[in-house]
Amino acid sequence: MPDVTSQLIADPVEDPATAAPRAERLADLDERVTRCIACPRLVGWREEVARVRRAAFRDQQYWGRPVPGFGPPDAAIAIVGLAPAAHGGNRTGRMFTGDRSGDVLYRALYDVGLASQPEARHLGDGLTLHRTRITAPVRCAPPANKPTPAERDTCRHWLARELGLLRPTLRVIVVLGAFGWQALMPVLRDTAWQLPRPRPKFGHNAHAELPAADGGAPLHLLGCYHVSQQNTFTGKLTPEMLRSVLDRAKELAGFR
């Protein structure tokens, strides 16, 4: 068990490997995720950021806890990033909400009809997603956006259970960046799908169709450059490129 205490969580979850599989509904899973303290370094960092705060947000109460996935339980498309941003999801409590990466992502989701509004500012801003769920392999903001392999492996149980609960409707996963792509592979294998050999490689517009291991529908994997400022400010990822991947995801998922 982790040797760590949280200043924000009164009823902590210490072991995702046993807590995640016991969640029978997505809402239950989301609630459990927000109480996780399995990674001492990340618990310390997320709460330190929430305590010190960025000057522009000094008057705000930071979330400072793990960030659950966002979107309905009948999602046909999942979007998998890396981890919450220190002053984005770690501040607002919702994936990609309140930061520049989210500005780009939600604008594109709105443009292709997958989000109800083009902006994500805070919990309770009215934003909803249409048959789309946004999630990540690591649920706590890591220093320098770099989780360790041990943190990634500890957190994967949350994602595995989330994809398992979405399994009946899930048809496409859009993966933002190489970290998410690599982290996702063992999760997919352990959930419901077969991994081709050699394993599909990440790239922008990469596409792989994974046969089901449980007799259900196959899964389409689509690669997309991450919506980080590093990519969007330099033009490596343009709004048109992002919309194009999302349109393809809709097509593969059978949206009309």
Residues contributing to the site for ligand SF4 (CB under 6 A): 16, 33, 36-39, 42-43, 66, 138-140, 151, 154-155
Choice between 39 and 109, CB closer to ligand SF4: 39
Angle, vertex CA 67, rays to CA 64 and CA 72, nearest 5: 150
Q: How far apart are CA 253 and CA 256, in angstroms?
A: 9
Tokens read off for 166: 């979405």
Which one, 43 or 237, has the nearer CB to ligand SF4? 43
Least Å from the CB of residue 20 to ligand SF4: 9
Nearer to ligand SF4, 64 or 223 (CB): 64
Q: Which is nearer to ligand SF4, 89 or 223 (CB)?
A: 89
Under a CB-based contact definition with an 8 Å cutoff, are residues 66 and 139 in contact?
yes
Smallest distance, Å, CB 209 to ligand SF4?
Answer: 29
Nearest Cα neighbor of 133 from 90, 111, 162 is 162
For the bound state, the minimum distance from the C-beta of residue 69 to ligand SF4, rounded and expressed in Å, comes to 12
| β-pair type (172-176, 132-135) | unpaired
CA distance 122 to 65: 15
For the bound state, the minimum distance from the C-beta of residue 137 to ligand SF4, rounded and expressed in Å, comes to 9
CB of 256 to ligand SF4, least distance (A): 36
State which residue, 115 or 134, has the beta carbon closest to ligand SF4.
Answer: 134
Spacing of C-alpha 135 from chain mean position: 2
The three-point CA angle 112-104-255 to 5° equals 20
Both tokens assigned to 119: 């902006």
> In angstroms, rounded to a whole number, what is the distance separating the alpha carbons of residues 244 and 225?
12
How far apart are alpha carbons 106 and 129 in whole angstroms? 9
Other beta carbons within 10 Å of 18: 10
Q: Which residue's CB is nearer to ligand SF4, number 42 or number 249? A: 42
SS3 250: helix
Q: Which helix (H) or strand (E) holds 80?
A: strand 77-80
Is the Cβ of residue 9 or residue 253 nearer to ligand SF4 in the bound state?
9
Please state the closest distance from residue 242 (CB atom) to ligand SF4, in A. 26
Q: How far is the CB of 224 from ligand SF4 (least distance, A)?
A: 23
